[in-house]
Amino acid sequence: MATSNAARTTPATGKLGTAELLFRSAQKMGLCPNWVTPNGLFAVLVNGQEQYINFACSPLNSHTSASLAKDKYLTRRILERHGLPNIPFAQPQSQAEAANFLRQHPKTVAKPIAGSGAQDIHIITTVSQLRSLDITRYILEEYIAGQELRYLVLNGTTIGVHRSDYGTSVQADRPLQRISYHPSAWDPALVSLAAQVAGILGLKFAAVDYLVDASGRTYILEVNTTPGLKWFHAPSSGPVIDVAGQFLEAIFKTRKKRALAQAGNA
């Protein structure tokens, strides 16, 4: 039985969620989308064949590449190996190791190693706060105050940039503003670095998030392979960018090339 095609929105903002944006883009492309499950999987018709879109497992990225980016510790280690602008970090195996990191970095952020969506993030300033965590499930990073920028990369090219204004705390339920930047305001060095990071991890589609501190020094905050698309389509201010449409076009170009290659090898 087909599920409802009702719009899915995020309660806090009323903006369409990523799955619904992709679904509507597929409708505009004439792909006859139909929901398979209510949580984001839908089918499309391509050359008379049913294919599936599940943004949580982007077909543009290999399983290996996606797994490297999903694990925050592995991402940090790879960035470190390439001498890229990293944030000091540790993956403690004991409370003693965690306490030692905190002594070196008196204000620390604890993030789930495989977390997403800014969930379960803790600002740590005391050893007692560390003790409340199952510390082996977290990566510790030095807390650095600054401005957050997201560069969205598709097939090695930046297709959108926005700034995140969170307010004062990464822990609080805070009002979020996303300011979209016109291409003329994109930093060429960050555009180049985003493509380099995506290339090193083998990612065809990724959001490279930067942190720029008060002195202007830039750090790579994280790499996300399934970033939310709604803020590019409905930013708080700035240009609207149809990244959902570009994402779908890239998927089907990739599949067409693969099918042609297989036919040529038959």
Which domain-ending residue is among 143, 167, 190? 143
How do residues 144-177 score in pLDDT, each as one tens digit? 999 999 999 999 999 999 999 875 555 555 567 8
- Residue 138 maps to which CATH number? 3.30.1490.20
Coil, helix or strand for 174?
coil
Q: What is the pLDDT of residue 259?
A: 52
Q: What is the pLDDT of residue 165?
A: 86
136 has pLDDT over 50: yes
Sheet containing 34-35: order of strands: 34-35, 42-46, 49-53
Element (DSSP H or E) covering residue 246: helix 243-265
Q: CA gyration radius for the chain?
A: 20
- Residue 174 maps to which CATH number? 3.30.470.20
Q: What is the pTM of this model?
A: 0.87
258 found inside a domain: no
153 found inside a domain: yes
7 has pLDDT over 50: no
Which domain-ending residue is among 128, 143, 158? 143
182 and 137 inside one domain: no
Strand residues in the chain grouped as ranges (E): 34-35, 42-46, 49-53, 89-90, 108-112, 122-124, 138-142, 147-154, 157-165, 177-180, 205-212, 218-224
Q: What is the pLDDT of residue 258?
A: 52
264 found inside a domain: no
Q: What is the pLDDT of residue 167?
A: 57
263 has pLDDT over 80: no
How do residues 42-101 score in pLDDT, each as one tens digit? 999 988 889 999 888 888 999 999 999 999 999 999 999 999 999 999 999 999 999 999
40 and 92 inside one domain: no
259 found inside a domain: no
210 found inside a domain: yes
Coil, helix or strand for 16?
strand
User: How far is Cα 191 from Cα 201, in angstroms, rounded to an integer?
Assistant: 16
Which candidate, 216, 208, 204, places its Cα nearest to that of 191?
208
**How many domains in the chain?**
3
Query: Between helices 72-81 and 63-70, what is the axis angle to 10°?
Result: 100
Pairing of strands 49-53, 89-90: unpaired
Average pLDDT over residues 100-104: 98
How do residues 14-47 score in pLDDT, each as one tens digit? 457 899 999 999 999 999 999 998 868 999 998 8
219 found inside a domain: yes
What residue numbers bound the domain in which 213 lies? 60-85+145-244
